[in-house]
């Protein structure tokens, strides 16, 4: 209706407006009449020879032109956005979280966006985002390396757990200090990984733990805990199912594990890549899907 009104106003002719719009004269006349009925005002004075704007029509024409311009700009932005929701997104994530959590969610994202491709790289090393042409690196971090930007994506809780059989044999620790007398399973890469920290009411307890099994893969730590080899500090995504079915139980439930990894998984990228619509759409999807994970 607005387009028909503005075109008639600019051309001072229903016939010429219809020609410009590629529709019949009756269609233009009907749309103008509908607009007049909608706003409750006569927009044109009509005679057998000419058509002209009424005072109300002149006042309304300025608003109509601005509205059409805004609508056109909005449509252009939507077209640009749709064109950006295509192409390849290269994603990097840690092996364990990537397998257990991220890889489970990505098929639904690809179903929702059939013009987007995802290349997922699961590695535990720190990838060089720029050199390896990674669009989004999902890391246990809230601080980006120099020259990169960082956006939080998901929160991950941690728990200290053990198999009921182990606790039946060795007894349950009552304080963090008691962990020093237990076989503890460490996700181990360096000596400092044997130092566990747990917090309660603003107090942080640190204890040097030891055990007979050290491994640099959290999935293996979880399996060892289920097998009854000792007490483990695990991210919740690796133990919630086992806690639910009784294969594992919480140890020192009043104490919150404090790890070098933290509890936030963030998207790390260059500022330019982070702004791409397809990347932002993926991050929005992941935030929504992982809110409860």
Q: For residue 246, what is the domain's CATH number?
A: 3.40.190.290
Per-residue pLDDT, averaged over 8-15, amounts to 84
Residues 142 and 74 in one domain: no
CATH number of the domain within which 9 lies:
1.10.10.10
Q: What is the DSSP letter of 119?
A: E
pLDDT in tens, 199-213: 999 899 999 999 989
Q: Residue 282: its pLDDT value, please?
A: 95
Q: Residue 129: its pLDDT value, please?
A: 87
In the predicted model, what is the mean pLDDT of the chain? 88
- Contact call for residues 151 and 274 (beta carbons, < 8 A): yes
For residues 197 and 118, give the distance between their C-alpha atoms in angstroms, rounded to a whole number.
37
For residues 237 and 266, give the distance between their C-alpha atoms in angstroms, rounded to a whole number.
16
pLDDT in tens, 215-237: 888 999 999 999 999 999 999 99
Per-residue pLDDT, averaged over 78-103, amounts to 83
Max distance between CA atoms of the chain, in angstroms, equals 104
Residues 23 and 12 in one domain: yes
Residues 176 and 229 in one domain: yes
Instruction: Examine the pLDDT at 89 and tell me if it is beyond 60.
Output: yes
Q: What percent of the chain has pLDDT over 90?
A: 53
- Domain ranges, residue 174: 158-258
Q: Residue 95: its pLDDT value, please?
A: 92
Instruction: Examine the pLDDT at 247 and tell me if it is beyond 60.
Output: yes
């Amino acid at each position: 209706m607005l387009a028909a009104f503005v075109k008639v106003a600019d051309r001072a002719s229903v016939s010429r407006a219809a020609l410009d719009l590629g529709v019949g004269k009756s269609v233009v006349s009907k749309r103008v009449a509908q607009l007049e009925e909608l706003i409750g005002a006569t927009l044109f004075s009509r005679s057998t020879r000419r058509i002209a704007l009424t005072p109300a029509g002149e006042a309304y024409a300025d608003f109509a032109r601005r509205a059409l311009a805004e609508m056109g700009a909005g449509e252009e932005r939507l077209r640009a956005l749709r064109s950006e929701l295509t192409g390849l997104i290269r994603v990097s994530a840690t092996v364990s979280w990537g397998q257990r959590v991220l890889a489970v969610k990505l098929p639904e994202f690809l179903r929702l966006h059939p013009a987007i491709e995802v290349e997922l790289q699961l590695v535990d090393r720190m990838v060089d985002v720029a050199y390896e042409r990674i669009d989004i690196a999902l890391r246990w971090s809230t601080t980006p390396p120099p020259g990169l930007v960082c956006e939080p994506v998901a929160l991950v809780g941690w728990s200290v757990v053990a198999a009921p059989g182990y606790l039946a044999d060795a007894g349950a620790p009552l304080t963090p200090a008691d962990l020093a007398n237990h076989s503890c399973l460490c996700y181990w890469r360096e000596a400092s990984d044997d130092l566990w920290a747990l917090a309660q009411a603003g107090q942080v307890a640190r204890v040097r733990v030891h055990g007979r099994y050290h491994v640099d893969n959290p999935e293996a730590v979880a399996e060892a805990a289920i097998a009854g080899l000792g007490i483990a500090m695990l991210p919740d995504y690796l133990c919630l199912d086992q806690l639910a079915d009784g294969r594992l139980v919480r140890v020192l439930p009043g104490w919150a594990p404090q790890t070098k990894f933290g509890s936030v998984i963030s998207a790390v990228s260059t500022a330019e890549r982070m702004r791409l619509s397809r990347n932002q759409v993926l991050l929005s999807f992941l935030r929504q899907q992982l809110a409860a994970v």
